[in-house]
């Protein structure tokens, strides 16, 4: 078992195979989720027949890989150390540190997603460019920079691009009106817009944000099934790319939102995940899961940069609607977020305080 962790450098990752084949952006994304761990001499890194889903790379020191035929020694910095140790599932050998070692533990699913994405992204954009003017495809490159799309199958992304419709808009045009049903997801390829909310007890209009080209909006109502919770008005002329509700749910929502029941969530929390309550303050004070972090959904865009991307988050509300919106928002920003299935109403009251 690892004894200590520190961030891995890009220089170290560039020496590893097949990690070195990732693009610079995806290499950085992997670096954000990977640590250099240490293990003292004589301790085991893994055992034969282990069925874990990691690629282990030796960075420094010596490790012995023993199977029924003998022992192979791998030395950090050698050619052999550029490849994963005993890259089989289940493991065929037992790995024991012969000296104090440094190593990396990389999630195989994450690495496979990044490699798949890199190998598919080029031809997808090329195919789409063949059907559109080259000047109109910059927005595609920009939208793909979001880590959200690392979790979406490449074929879904290609279908999304094919189904998005360009919509020219004028300054002053209202794109989304508070209280309306959700119908489209929008990505702003050109222009700037204003997000406002009508105060419930007065005629006052509350300014929430200004969004520039490269921003997306409209997903909350599509995810939660609730009505639009804000107005979006163009400040300048521009162009929006929009995706219909059914396509959004099939291509983006389904692959992104991961739901866990209470027992699964508890196990994740025992392994270091964090409960995140996205209800309002008075709801949280009335009852909440002990030890949970509280960030209301309406503040999550502002507060998200202060959260730790190295942690998993189990997001909850009363029913799962608001938490679904929150988990999607966090996923867009590169967080590993899961929704508590059914919300607090689906678990026993003794689990809250």
CA distance 182 to 164: 16
The three-class DSSP label of residue 347 is: coil
Residue 248 has pLDDT above 70, yes or no: yes
Tokens 């874990």 label which residue? 52
What is the average pLDDT score of the chain? Answer: 85
- Which whole number is the average pLDDT over 38-67? 95
**pLDDT value of position 72:** 95
SS3 content of the chain, % helix, strand, coil (to 5): 35, 30, 35
**pLDDT value of position 347:** 81
**pLDDT value of position 116:** 57
CA distance 18 to 139: 29
- Which whole number is the average pLDDT over 49-59? 93
**pLDDT value of position 229:** 80
Asked if residue 337 lies in contact with residue 300, where contact means CB atoms within 8 angstroms, the answer is no
**pLDDT value of position 339:** 93
**pLDDT value of position 179:** 86
Residue 224 CA, chain-centre distance (Å), reads 18
Residue 2 has pLDDT above 90, yes or no: no
Residue 136 has pLDDT above 80, yes or no: no
Confidence of residue 117 (pLDDT cuts 50, 70, 90): low
Asked if residue 230 lies in contact with residue 193, where contact means CB atoms within 8 angstroms, the answer is no
Query: Count of CB atoms within 10 A of residue 256's CB?
Result: 20
Q: Which of 274, 264, 256 has the alpha carbon at shortest distance from 310?
A: 274
> Looking at per-residue confidence, does 25 or 40 come out higher?
40
Q: What is the pLDDT of residues 253-285, one digit of tens each?
A: 878 788 999 999 999 999 999 999 999 888 888
CA distance 25 to 288: 38
**Torsion angles phi and psi, residue 23, rounded to 5:** -70, 165
- Which whole number is the average pLDDT over 295-304? 87
CA distance 57 to 84: 5
Q: Which value, to the nearest 10 degrees, does the dihedral of the CA atoms of residues 193, 199, 205, 209 take? A: -30
Confidence of residue 351 (pLDDT cuts 50, 70, 90): low
Judged on CB neighbours under 10 Å (0-12, 13-18, 19+), 137 is middle
Asked if residue 91 lies in contact with residue 47, where contact means CB atoms within 8 angstroms, the answer is yes
Confidence of residue 215 (pLDDT cuts 50, 70, 90): confident
Query: Count of CB atoms within 10 A of residue 48's CB?
Result: 16
Q: Which residues pair with 315 in a beta bridge?
A: 276, 339
Residue 132 has pLDDT above 70, yes or no: no
Confidence of residue 24 (pLDDT cuts 50, 70, 90): confident
Query: Looking at the chain, how many residues does it have?
Result: 353
Confidence of residue 1 (pLDDT cuts 50, 70, 90): very low
- Structural domains in the chain, CATH included, are 4-107 (2.60.120.10), 132-253 (2.60.120.10), 257-351 (3.40.250.10)
Residue 54 has pLDDT above 50, yes or no: yes
> Looking at per-residue confidence, does 225 or 196 come out higher?
196
Residue 7 has pLDDT above 90, yes or no: no
Q: Which of 215, 212, 253 has the alpha carbon at shortest distance from 339?
A: 253
Per-residue buried b or exposed e for 283-303, using 16+ beta carbons within 10 Å of the residue's own CB: bbeeebbeebbbbbbeebbee
**pLDDT value of position 147:** 66
Task: Decide the pairing of beta strands 94-97 and 44-46.
Answer: antiparallel
Asked if residue 214 lies in contact with residue 266, where contact means CB atoms within 8 angstroms, the answer is no
> Looking at per-residue confidence, does 6 or 96 come out higher?
96
Q: How far is CA 255 from CA 57, 212, 258, in A?
A: 29, 27, 8
Q: What is the pLDDT of residues 163-212, one digit of tens each?
A: 999 999 999 999 999 889 889 999 999 999 999 888 655 678 888 888 99
Does pTM surpass 0.75? no
Tokens of 273: 């995940």
Query: Count of CB atoms within 10 A of residue 133's CB?
Result: 7
Judged on CB neighbours under 10 Å (0-12, 13-18, 19+), 47 is middle
> Looking at per-residue confidence, does 116 or 225 come out higher?
225
């Amino acid at each position: 078992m690892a004894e200590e962790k520190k961030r891995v450098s890009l220089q170290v990752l560039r020496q590893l195979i097949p990690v070195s084949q990732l693009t610079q952006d995806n290499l950085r994304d992997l670096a954000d989720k990977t640590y250099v761990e240490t293990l003292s001499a004589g301790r085991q890194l893994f055992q034969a027949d282990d069925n874990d889903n990691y690629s282990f790379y030796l960075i420094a020191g010596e490790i012995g890989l023993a199977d029924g035929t003998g022992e192979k020694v791998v030395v950090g910095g050698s050619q052999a150390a550029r490849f994963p140790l005993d890259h089989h599932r289940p493991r065929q050998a037992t790995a024991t540190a012969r000296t104090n070692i440094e190593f990396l533990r990389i999630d195989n699913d994450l690495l496979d997603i990044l490699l798949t994405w890199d190998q598919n992204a080029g031809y997808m954009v090329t195919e789409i460019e063949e059907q559109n003017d080259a000047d109109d495809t910059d927005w595609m490159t920009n939208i793909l920079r979001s880590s959200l799309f690392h979790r979406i199958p490449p074929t879904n992304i290609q279908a999304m691009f094919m189904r998005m419709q360009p919509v020219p808009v004028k300054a002053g045009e209202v794109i989304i009106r508070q209280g309306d049903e959700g119908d489209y997801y929008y990505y702003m390829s050109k222009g700037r817009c204003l997000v406002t909310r009508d105060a419930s007890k007065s005629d006052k209009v509350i300014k929430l944000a200004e969004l520039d080209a490269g921003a997306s909006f409209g997903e909350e109502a599509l995810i939660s099934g609730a009505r639009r919770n804000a107005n979006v008005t163009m400040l300048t002329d521009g162009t929006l790319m929009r995706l219909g509700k059914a396509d959004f749910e099939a291509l983006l929502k389904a692959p992104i939102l991961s739901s866990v029941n209470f027992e699964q969530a508890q196990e994740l929390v025992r392994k270091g995940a964090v409960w995140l309550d996205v209800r309002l303050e008075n709801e949280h004070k009335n009852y909440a899961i002990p030890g949970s972090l509280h960030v209301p959904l309406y503040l999550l865009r502002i507060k998200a940069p202060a959260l730790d991307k190295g942690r998993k988050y189990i997001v909850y509300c009363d029913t799962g609607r608001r938490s679904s919106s929150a988990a999607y928002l966090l996923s867009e920003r590169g967080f590993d977020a899961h929704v508590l299935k059914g919300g607090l109403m689906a678990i026993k009251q003794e689990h809250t305080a």
